């Protein structure tokens, strides 16, 4: 029975590793395509036509790429350590919320109740992130004290 469990775990690890590789390939392709789109958006700014729309696309594109990069960092870290670091996911969520707020404000489509809800959510995530940072910092100092 133990041999069967080891084989199943081995197959599981290989499948998960393969899936992560496929997901990372798609994220890398998305980052490359997004970067190329940013270049064309910047190029369109030089035409001085629909400047507001181009700025909105530029801001949206940059923030979307940043979210993709944060998510890919989370996937790579999980693949290396087999642990999910919540701090990477919280960072990605914070960036996503800031992205949504900025886009809504820039397009003048922001409703007060949505901005309030996003703000409360952003403050909550920021507080959770601060707690994780404090715990990690305190953990590092206790490890350093034990080594001395």
pLDDT mean across residues, the chain:
81
What's the confidence (pLDDT) of residue 146?
Answer: 47
Q: If 0-12 CB within 10 Å is exposed, 13-18 middle and 19+ buried, where does residue 4 land?
A: exposed
How far is 37 from 43, CA to CA, in rounded Å?
10
Question: Does residue 119 surpass a pLDDT of 50?
Answer: yes
Q: Which two tokens stand for residue 50?
A: 């629909």
Least confident residue range of 10-19, 85-94, 133-142: 133-142
Q: Where are the domains of the chain?
A: 2-147
- Tokens for 54, please give them: 């181009």
Are the C-beta atoms of 103 and 59 separated by less than 8 Å?
yes
| Mean pLDDT score, 107-135 | 88
Q: What is the pLDDT of residue 7?
A: 85
Q: Which two tokens stand for residue 148?
A: 């001395």
> Which is higher by pLDDT, 142 or 124?
124
Which tokens go with 1?
Answer: 């029975």
């Amino acid at each position: 029975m133990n041999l069967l469990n080891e084989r199943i775990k081995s197959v599981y690890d290989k499948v998960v590793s393969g899936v992560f590789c496929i997901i990372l390939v798609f994220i890398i392709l998305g980052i490359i395509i997004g970067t190329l789109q940013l270049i064309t958006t910047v190029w369109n700014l030089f035409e001085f036509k629909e400047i507001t729309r181009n700025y909105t696309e530029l801001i949206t594109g940059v923030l979307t790429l940043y979210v993709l990069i944060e998510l890919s960092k989370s996937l790579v870290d999980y693949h290396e350590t087999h642990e999910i670091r919540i701090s990477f996911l919280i960072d990605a969520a914070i960036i996503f919320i800031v992205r949504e707020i900025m886009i809504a404000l820039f397009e003048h489509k922001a409703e007060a109740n949505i901005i309030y809800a996003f703000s409360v959510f952003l403050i909550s995530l920021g507080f959770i992130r601060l707690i994780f940072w404090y715990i990690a910092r305190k953990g590092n100092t206790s490890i350093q004290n034990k080594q001395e």
